[in-house]
Amino acid sequence: MEDIKRILLTADGHRFYYRGNADLHTKFGFIKKEEIEAALPGSVLKTNMNKEMVVIESSFIDKYGRIKRGAQIIPRKDVGHIIMETGINHKSKVVDAGAGSGGLCCALANICKEVVTYDIRDDFLEIVKHNKEFLALKNLKVKKGDIYKGVKDTDADLVTLDLPEPWLAIKAAEDALKVGGFVVSYSPTIPQVMDFVAALKKSEKLIFLKTVEISEREWDVEDRKVRPKSQSIGHSGFMTFARKVRN
């Protein structure tokens, strides 16, 4: 996948990606490569069909929306909640298990000092490596490993688990976390949550905090015609939070 150099936006919200290798062709006409390259951010260009587009520089989130996918990724609404509930930042170290397509670990690596992600499937690991390169995340380490059997990482501020049986990873999470660090399990079903919380409550090192789910409903706004969109993001997964309180 080629890098995204710039974004061109129309006044009605259509977005087009310029990758720097050719003229930009759209349903509204085309703009020559030389014009896009020479334009300053915020400049307005016109297609050969006289459609105006604003040029802006691409950011991480623009590229993130174009990552390669295999397994379903955790939605942004849930990623944002994990970030704010745990307070991770540019000084934080994260251990992520169940890399899948890498949606979560890539988002966390964008703000954290270091993220180490694990998966047992080679096909998923290849997708994550592809996305790591596409997003230029040098602080993301991609490893093959089974967290159920433990990991060598220590002093982590956060451990994230996107696994079929997260309760089997509690010991590994205990060992990887620093005191005060968080573990977050992401599960699609309530039985998984029940078993994980039951195991948490037996731990002498972790304290169960809460289980939540986040719903998102986007709205159409056209003058005074305002209503929810016909399709919305409903249930995606349950997030269970716990915190390490002793070694």
Q: How far apart are CA 131 and CA 60, in angstroms?
A: 12
- Written as one letter, the residue type at 181 is G
d(CA 199, CA 25): 55
Instruction: Give the pLDDT score at 232.
Output: 65
Considering the four listed CATH numbers 3.30.70.20, 2.40.50.100, 3.10.330.20, 3.40.50.1370, the one that applies to the domain covering 6-58 is: 3.10.330.20
CATH code reported for the domain at 68-244? 3.40.50.150
pLDDT for the residue numbered 244: 98
DSSP string, 192-243: HHHHHHHHHTT-SSEEEEEEE---B--EEEETTEEEE-SS-B----EEEEEE
Please calculate the CA angle 178-107-13 and round it to the nearest 5 degrees. Answer: 155
pLDDT for res 1: 53
Give the pLDDT score at 167: 98
The pLDDT of residue 4: 85
pLDDT of residue 216: 87
Regions of the chain with pLDDT less than 50: none
Q: Residue 75 is which amino acid?
A: P
Quickly list DSSP for the chain.
-PPP-EEEE-TTS-EEEE-SSS-EEETTEEE-HHHHHHPPTT-EEE-TT--EEEEEE--HHHHHTT---SSPPPPHHHHHHHHHHHT--TT-EEEEE--TTSHHHHHHHTTSSEEEEEES-HHHHHHHHHHHHHHT-TTEEEEE--GGG--S--SEEEEEE--S-GGGGHHHHHHHEEEEEEEEEEESSHHHHHHHHHHHTT-SSEEEEEEE---B--EEEETTEEEE-SS-B----EEEEEEE---
How many Å apart are CA 197 and CA 207, to the nearest integer? 10
Domain ranges of the chain: 6-58, 68-244
